[in-house]
Structure 1
Amino acid sequence: MLSPTEPASVRKSIPQVDFELDDLDADEEKYLDFYRQVAVREDMLVPLAEHHTPNGAHSWSVNCTFSGSLSGDEVNTREPELRDLYRELIEGKANVPRVGSVVELETVHPRYAVLDAFGVVVEPVASYLRELALDDNRPLTSRSYAYDMLRWHRLLWFLGVAWEQATEAEASALVGWLRAAENPQRGRKNRDAPPPGSVNLRTGKRYLKAGYAPTTINHNLTVVSSFYAFHRHHNRGPLVNPVPESRAQRQVLAHRTPDAIMPVFRRARLRQRVRQTDPRAIPDGVPLCGVGDLRG
């Protein structure tokens, strides 16, 4: 479907382009109504081609979609046993086994790899991490991305879904699981250590909670989305990215100049709300120890 952003009166004056589709012109309100009638969301459309004028005033995009994608609400179409498993994950009643691992390799590209339960390198992840390293990302970035991919593949292995058949249903299950599961990194070996989520009485800062932080969940979704975008570029994997994205945000940012004010967008589906925190500072009641030892 062609979806130009210029005014409708100007668009209709272009004779070589036909914006008519079943009595529907390119007016924004009308094609949004068309989305609602056929139950198609904008983030389900896959951009096949885009064109932007040099001055950024006009934009055209050719998109397609297909009926094979599943959203989190469409899990009901699956088998009863699998449907119950998805719901248990989303409700936090099931836990994903911690199989597989992330290992450091002797190679540089990539520096890290994800192994499955049998100790075999997961090749789709290896090629993605290799590309990430070749893009001059730091080794610690590859390590962080590798753990996010391990978490995603643990979910797919648990559900019995191949990585190239993943849909939005699996992404919804991932978010639901991470929202309810406990983060193993939050374990306390010292019994006298403050409990997760409590407040430090000296600094007034709150310790990390026992579960996964919203920023961690959003980062995992970003890595999964990037993973499938990489493989789609090479004609591998599903046509529709399992992670929803804000298509309106992507189109607006395509025309944004570096010195322009960053516009505010509604969060994409499945993205978690991140609370704005105050900048780190030394509380007023804490003495500045060691200030007298400083020398100019």
Structure 2
Amino acid sequence: MPGDQRPERDLKNFSLPEIGKLSETGDPWKPCQLLDPFGTPVEPVAIYFKDLIAADCSPLTPRSYGMDLLRWWRYLWAFGIEWDRATREDARDFTLWMKLADKPARVHWRHRDKDPSQVPTRKPVNTPAPGTPNPVTGKPSVGTKYAPSTRAHFETVLRTFYDFHLEQNTGSLLVNPFPLVRNRRSSRSNAHHNPEKEHRKQRTGLYRPKVPKRIPRRIPEDKYTEVFAGLRSDRDRALLAFWVASGARAEELLSSTQGGAVVGQQTIGVIRKGTREYQELPATRDAFVWLRLYQEHAWKKGVPRGRSQPLWWTLRRPWRPLTYDAARMMFSRANELLGANWTLHDLRHTATFLMLDDPDMPPVYVQHILGHKYLSTLDIYNRPTRDDVISAGLAHLARQERLRQSPPPVLPAPAYNPDSLNTLFGGPLL
């Protein structure tokens, strides 16, 4: 209730309990359900998911939003707070905990019912400390804290969730516990913007962190060859070749069907992530060679065959279409051989850099292949990468060193021409 003084919470020793879960149903009408500790669906979240689906969002959006809502509900359950009675102090405390506390250690589902002392620990060789740059890629490894992008996504999801229920006048909800900054509460962003001036960057949420801009990274050709050589099957080699050749997102390529791979035209059809439209993308001949090798071996083992059947399947029975998580784990195992931490999305960045480095490839074609709405999205690839900056800096230092070791010859001081002086001042003529 307003005016109630809640006791101070010990956030330093607080551990987020693993109660409740986000369940994927496979039903397009209810793709995800947030279940409480007793297995009962959380009704406010179910209504919100239904509104998201009606708004024609991506099928992956409810799951993405559901992970943030599950994290918030676990916090509410831990302190016995009703979701529609949460205050700004509750949002502030949990946002502060996400900023300063360590992430909860995830336990594999095979070891959840075991004693923690009996759970085997597996750590890859030469793994850098959490949060430090990887010695192979230069990318920071996953840290022990929540990343700013994760906290920003959480704040956005919870603020829009409470805004939705405020508009619906649900329960006893009176205020949004995740407010906007003070100068934004009464108007939208840039409401009175002068079109002759650039838009100012304004923070929307009061508890929204500053998210650093990410610079896309490409996989060098020699390292890509090593990763390719570390793959275990023709299916994985075909996947890697198609990702780098087509520039498709990881989940988009997994949506391809056997009839969508047209060898004669060297194109492969995918379902775009945002628009959900079908689009054909060009690919290399090598990618189709690896695909054919994979298909011949898979069909002999009994993988379903047909033009409308999925293109990518698991390697073992029972045959199931390959999922994004399985593909990600496949690529992670290949990374461990090199001690690298590249991601599947880095393959898309690599394909983009290769296309933009070609002077005969217009950027508008690259935009269409990548499926970007605006051409300006490609501007992030014009920024110098870490490797480019370091290489340029080392080259500069090498030139300075050569100048110090062998200085340039000293040129004689300039002097006036004697004939010009005689003509000017009337000197003797010889």
Q: Contact 2:15 / 2:104 at 8 angstroms: preserved in 1?
A: no
Residue type of the alignment partner of 1:181: D
- Conserved 8 A contact 1:109-1:134: no
1:247 deviates by 5.2
Instruction: Give 1:214-233 correspondences, 5 Å limit.
Output: 214-233=148-167
Residues 185 and 215 (structure 1), Cα distance of their counterparts in 2 relative to 1, 3 Å cut = farther
> Using the alignment, how far apart are the partners of 1:138 and 1:260 within structure 2?
34
The corresponding residue for 1:168 is 88
Whole-angstrom CA distance in 1 between matches of 2:47 and 2:204: 30
Which among 211, 219, 244 is matched to residue 274 of structure 1?
211
Query: What amino acid maps onto 1:135 in structure 2?
Result: A
- Residue 182 of structure 1: aligned partner: 103
Computed over aligned residues only, the root mean square deviation of the Cα atoms, in angstroms, reads 3.3
Alignment of 1:1-296 (within 5 A): 68=2, 78-79=5-6, 83-85=7-9, 88-89=10-11, 92-179=12-99, 180-184=101-105, 190-192=122-124, 194=127, 195-237=129-171, 238-246=173-181, 248-249=183-184, 250-255=187-192, 261-266=198-203, 268-282=205-219, 287=222
Identity %: 33
Moved more, 193-202 or 224-233: 193-202
Q: Displacement of 1:191 after TM fit?
A: 1.4
Per-residue displacement from partner, 1:209-246 (whole Å, max 9, x unpaired)?
A: 12211111111111111111111111114221100213
Residues 156 and 205 of structure 2 are in contact (CA less than 8 Å); yes or no, is this contact kept in structure 1?
no
- 2:152–2:211 CA contact under 8 A, matched in 1: no
Are 2:132 and 2:141, in contact at CA under 8 Å, matched by a contact in 1?
yes
Higher helix share: 2
Larger radius of gyration: 2
What's the secondary structure of 1:139's corresponding residue? coil
| Distance in 2, Cα, partners of 1:144 & 1:258 | 35
Query: Compared with structure 1, are the counterparts of its residues 137 and 267 closer, same or farther at alpha carbon in structure 2 (3 Å cutoff)?
Result: closer
- CA change 1:178–1:126 in 2 (3 A) is same
Q: Whose RCO is larger (CA < 8 A, sep 6+)?
A: 1
In the aligned structure 1, how far is the partner of 2:46 from the partner of 2:85?
A: 18
SS in 2 for 1:150: helix
Q: Deviations over 1:87-109 (max 9, x none)?
A: x12xx321121100000124323
Question: Partners in 2 of 1:186 and 1:176 — Cα distance?
Answer: 24
Residue correspondences, number: 213
- Aligned to 2:23, the other structure's residue is in SS state strand
Whether the aligned pair in 2 keeps the contact of 1:183 and 1:212 (CA below 8 Å) is no
**Residues 1:172 and 1:146: Cα distance change in structure 2 (over 3 Å):** same
In 2, the alpha carbon distance for the partners of 1:279 and 1:258 equals 31
Change (3 A) 1:222 1:252: closer
- Give the superposition deviation at 1:260: 6.8
Structure 1 stretch displaced more, 252-261 or 121-130: 252-261
In structure 2, give the amino acid aligned to 1:242: P
User: Aligned residue for 2:374?
Assistant: none
Deviation of residue 140 (structure 1)? 1.3
Residue 179 of structure 2 aligns to which amino acid in structure 1?
A: P
- Residue 115 of structure 1 and its aligned partner are, at CA, apart by 0.3
Q: Distance in 2 between matches of 1:258 and 1:102?
A: 44
Q: TM-score, normalised by structure 2?
A: 0.44
Taking the aligned partners of 1:225 and 1:189, their CA distance within structure 2 comes to 38
Kept in 2, the 8 Å contact 1:181–1:212? The answer is: yes
For the residue of structure 2 that corresponds to 1:111, the secondary structure is: strand
Write the letter of the residue equivalent to 2:39: G
Q: Provide the residue aligned with 1:46 in structure 2.
A: none
CA deviations 1:62-110 (Å, max 9, x no partner) are xxxxx93x8xxxxxx624xxx232xx12xx3211211000001243233
Q: Distance in 2 between matches of 1:131 and 1:211?
A: 32
Query: In 2, Cα distance between the equivalents of 1:186 and 1:263?
Result: 43
Give the Cα separation in 2 of the matches to 1:84 and 1:109: 42
Secondary structure in 1 aligned to 2:60?
helix
Q: Residue deviations 1:17-54, cap 9 Å, x none?
A: xxxxxxxxxxxxxxxxxxxxxxxxxxxxxxxxxxxxxx
Q: Would you say the 8 A contact 1:186–1:196 is kept in 2?
A: no
Q: Is the 8 A contact 1:200 1:206 kept in 2?
A: yes
Any stretches of 5+ residues in structure 2 without a counterpart? 109-119, 226-240, 246-283, 286-430
Deviates more, 1:202-211 or 1:265-274: 265-274
How far apart are the structure 1 equivalents of 2:148 and 2:106? 15
Counterpart secondary structure, 1:203: coil
Task: Report the TM-score when normalising by structure 1.
Answer: 0.62
| Cα distance change on mapping 1:113 and 1:258 into 2, 3 Å | farther
